[in-house]
Every structure is written in C-alpha cells, then in structure tokens.
Amino acid sequence: MPRVLIIGGSLGGLFAANLLHDLGWDVEVYEKVGDDLAARGAGIGTHTELLGVLAQLGITIDERLGIEAAERICVDRGGRELYRTRWGHIMSAWASVYRPLKDRFPAGRYHFGKGFRSFEESSGGVIARFEDGSEARGDLLIGADGLRSAVRGQLFQGVEPRYAGYVAWRSIVEESALPAATREWLGAGYWFVLPPGEMMLCYQVPAKDPKRAGRDWNWVWYRPVTPAQLADISTDLTGRNHGIAMPPPLIRPDVTASIKSDARRLLAPHIATLVERSQPFFQAIFDVESPRLAVGRVVLLGDAAFVARPHVGMGVTKGALDALCLYKSLQQSGNPDAALARYDRLRGEFGRRCVARARRLGAYIEFPERRLDQRPERVLHEVAAALSDIPELALEV
Ligand SMILES: Cc1cc2nc3c(=O)[nH]c(=O)nc-3n(C[C@H](O)[C@H](O)[C@H](O)COP(=O)(O)OP(=O)(O)OC[C@H]3O[C@@H](n4cnc5c(N)ncnc54)[C@H](O)[C@@H]3O)c2cc1C
C-alpha cells in the first residue's frame, strides 16, 4: 500500500488523512503541537461543499456541529437597523469540526509533538526529517502545515505571507454570560456593524465544550493596524514581542481595555457587550499564494497552499475541498504523476481565485483612505457567500 506522510494535524491535514485512509493508503500524520488542539479555535462559517465532505466521511451534521443563522442584519452604532437580508447558512465552531475528524482517524497514526524540519526526495519516494532527529519515509509527502508552512518554505524560497494591513480581533462568549436583554436583542441573527474602514460581525456557534448546554456567541472585528501598532499590541508586559503568535492571556491589559472602550464608542451597545464580556485576542490577516501545489512527490494543501482573507469564509472548506480533490485525483488515476498534475491544476486555480476575491472584499479595510464601497447591501451579500453564488469559484474538484 502506498504510504503518505502528512505534516500538520489540523483540519486540512485531518481531512486528507481520513480520506486517504479510506482509499486504503497507509497514512501517518505529524503534528508539531504536543497536545489536543480542540481547546483552541473559534467560530467558522460552513459551505454545503464542506458538509458534503463531512457526510462522505460519515460525520453527522446535527446541532452539535452547526447552528443556522437565518438572517443577516446590519446596524449602526446606535443599534438602528440599516439593512436586513435572509441568509440560512450553518455556522459552526472550529472544535466541532476538528473533534469528529480527529476521533475518526486511528490514534496510533497521529503523532503529536513531531515538528517537521525538512524533506528529501529519493528514488520515487520522500524522506521527512523531524526536529527530534527522527525521520520517516513515504511515497507522498503532504504539507498541511498552515500559514508558515515549512514544507512550502523548502519548495519555494521567498514565498512569504503578505500582511494585509489589518487584524481580526475576535473571541467567543458563552451565551449564559450575557445579560438577558442582550440575548433577546441578538436573537439568532448574524449581525454586522460597519464603522468606516472596519467590519464587525457576530453569530451564534455550538458551545465550545460539547457537554455544556447552551450556545456561544462568536465575534470578529477587522480593524486597520499599522506594522508599528502590530508590533506594539504583540508585545507583552515583560516587553517580549510575540510576532503574530500572541498567546491571548499575554495580551496587555491596556490593549484589551482599549479595544473594549473602542467597542463602546463604535459598535451597537449589545454588540459592544459581547466584546466587553470576553477575552479578546487577535489574528493578523495575511495573503499567501503558492506558485505550484505539487512538485515531484510533495503536495501543498489548505493554508500551506493558499491563505485567503477570512471574508470568503472558506479556510476550512478550501482545506476540505483540497483534500477531496487529492483523494479523487489519486482514486481516478493509476499514474501518480497524472493525479498530482490534476490536483495542481484544479486547486491552484481555485486558490488563486479565492485569494483574489478575498482581497477585493477586504480592500476597503486595507485602504481606508480610499473610501471604497462598504455599503451594507454589498458587504452582507458578498462576505462568506455560498460557493454556488460565486461563478468564478464554480470549479471542478
Ligand atoms: C488551533 C487553530 C485554530 C483555528 N481556529 C480557526 C477558527 O476559529 N476559524 C477559522 O476560520 N479558522 C481557524 N483556524 C484556521 C483554519 O483551521 C484553517 O484556515 C483551515 O482549517 C485550514 O487549515 P490547515 O489545516 O490548512 O492549516 P492550520 O489550521 O493552520 O493547521 C496547520 C497545522 O500544522 C501544524 N504545523 C505547523 N508547522 C508544523 C511543522 N513544522 N511540523 C508539524 N506540524 C506543523 C500546526 O501546528 C497546525 O496544527 C485555526 C487553525 C488552528 C491551528
């Protein structure tokens, strides 16, 4: 049986691992982090195509996986309605997708605490080398190691994530931690507030802990942040700079206080309450485009291949569809070179188009001085739209 080494055991890696395991391949997953990832992550939007891949894997789509947001509503900072439209998408949580994928995959083949260092191609196969000095040999190596992919770094020197000039402040709040009036006002809507050059949105997601009753509220607030400001908010109380990987508990109290006070000033009162009742953290927004997705016996997948800004709401769906395309390509062709060429062509085109669309949706935040179109009618229809409503992304998988 062919053997595949997957670097990165997050969602992209786990989709590929489960699908290729079902194809009868001998699959090993190597994850740098030393323990379960389920405690991390926040809310995610889903697409019919993502639910399709989960269904193919036999994963049940019920209220533990997602909650339907029936309407999108945009309000001003006084809470007055500006625009309302029917919606009907399932909103999920990162952990709700991670958990069933992780549980479905044989535990003995998932290796925590295994940081990949480099690879070497040899006689039709690939050798992966790890930080602990060990190595593994396979017929195929999949780089599913995310934004700062070390696999991509070895394939394409100089292809680096490009900072978009803004960050997503975000968090999750337990519904029970909110005042009754706020719960009632929010209902089950998918809310937007659009301060000039910014975008705040919030929606309900399944409770992070599946044993807990009730739901959580997920919020995301995109705000322009210069590189100098980013360096400041990434610096903890001891003066240490954490780059883009700032652990939420280390964010300085003055930084948190300032985002909470801005929320009171710029957002509708009940939406500001979500910010006030949570521990906000931030993720810097980047674009990544890889020139190729398959070179020899090495493949890139998910965020390692392309990172589109979150406005397309497609990080997880794109990873799942990359994995599905690789699975189908390998299933259909007895020739691995032809299979990988098909994957490279189809997912390369999808990734490039996805990054371009997301960049366009975020352009008004990236360039606030240009005062680009941020009308609610446009934003509410285009952000995280269904794939079936985006002609340029209707591509074969
Ligand atoms: C902990 C976590 C929480 C997230 N939360 C959200 C969220 O709330 N909403 C959302 O839309 N998206 C979230 N994402 C991103 C989302 O999961 C991705 O856009 C999407 O799932 C594509 O995932 P990926 O597997 O390609 O990349 P990622 O999810 O970034 O995963 C890459 C994985 O590779 C591992 N890795 C990195 N370098 C190495 C190495 N050298 N050796 C071995 N392993 C390595 C990382 O630890 C990570 O687990 C989150 C990602 C992570 C890791």
- pLDDT for the residue numbered 263: 98
CB of 15 closer than 8 Å to CB of 354: no
- pLDDT for the residue numbered 36: 85
Q: Dihedral through CA 220, CA 223, CA 226, CA 228, nearest 10? A: -60
What confidence tens digit (pLDDT) does each residue in 60-84 have? Answer: 877 778 888 999 999 999 999 999 9
What confidence tens digit (pLDDT) does each residue in 15-74 have? Answer: 999 999 999 999 999 999 998 888 777 888 899 999 999 999 999 877 778 888 999 999
Q: Could you give the angle at the alpha carbon of 41 between the alpha carbons of 35 and 45, nearest 5°?
A: 140
CB of 198 closer than 8 Å to CB of 159: no
User: Which strands form 110-111's sheet, in the order they lie side by side?
Assistant: 110-111, 26-30, 3-7, 140-143, 298-300, 294-295
CB atoms within 10 A of CB 46: 23
CB of 304 closer than 8 Å to CB of 354: no
* Cα-to-centroid distance, 204 and ligand 1 (Å): 22
Ligand 1 pocket test target in 44, 145, 203, 312 with most atoms within 8 Å of CB? 145
Confidence of residue 359 (pLDDT cuts 50, 70, 90): very high
Beta bridge partners of 187: none
Q: Which atom of ligand 1 is nearest to the CA of 45?
A: 11
Ligand 1 pocket test target in 10, 54, 148 with most atoms within 8 Å of CB? 10
* Cα-to-centroid distance, 329 and ligand 1 (Å): 24
Mean pLDDT of the chain: 95
What confidence tens digit (pLDDT) does each residue in 319-330 have? Answer: 999 999 999 999
* Cα-to-centroid distance, 288 and ligand 1 (Å): 14
- pLDDT for the residue numbered 60: 84
* Cα-to-centroid distance, 77 and ligand 1 (Å): 34
Confidence of residue 9 (pLDDT cuts 50, 70, 90): very high
* Cα-to-centroid distance, 62 and ligand 1 (Å): 24
Query: Residue 313: is its pLDDT beyond 90?
Result: yes
SS3 27: strand
- Ligand 1 pocket list (CB less than 6 A): 7-13, 30-33, 37, 40-42, 44, 94, 115-116, 144-147, 150, 302-304, 310, 315-316, 319
Q: DSSP letters of 288-315? A: EE-S-SEETTEEE-GGGTEE--GGG--H
Question: Per 3-state DSSP, what percentage of the chain is helix, strand, and coil (rounded to 5)?
Answer: 40, 30, 35
What confidence tens digit (pLDDT) does each residue in 166-190 have? Answer: 999 999 999 999 999 999 999 999 9
* Cα-to-centroid distance, 94 and ligand 1 (Å): 10
CB of 338 closer than 8 Å to CB of 248: no
Confidence of residue 209 (pLDDT cuts 50, 70, 90): confident
What confidence tens digit (pLDDT) does each residue in 220-231 have? Answer: 999 999 999 999
Question: Which of 28, 16, 42 minimizes the C-alpha distance to 144?
Answer: 16
Confidence of residue 349 (pLDDT cuts 50, 70, 90): very high
SS3 198: coil
Give me the mean pLDDT over the 280-303 stretch.
Answer: 97
Give me the mean pLDDT over the 90-103 stretch.
Answer: 92
What confidence tens digit (pLDDT) does each residue in 113-156 have? Answer: 999 999 999 887 999 999 999 999 999 999 999 999 999 999 99
Q: Which atom of ligand 1 is nearest to the CA of 93?
A: 8
Whose tokens are 């700032």? That residue is 246
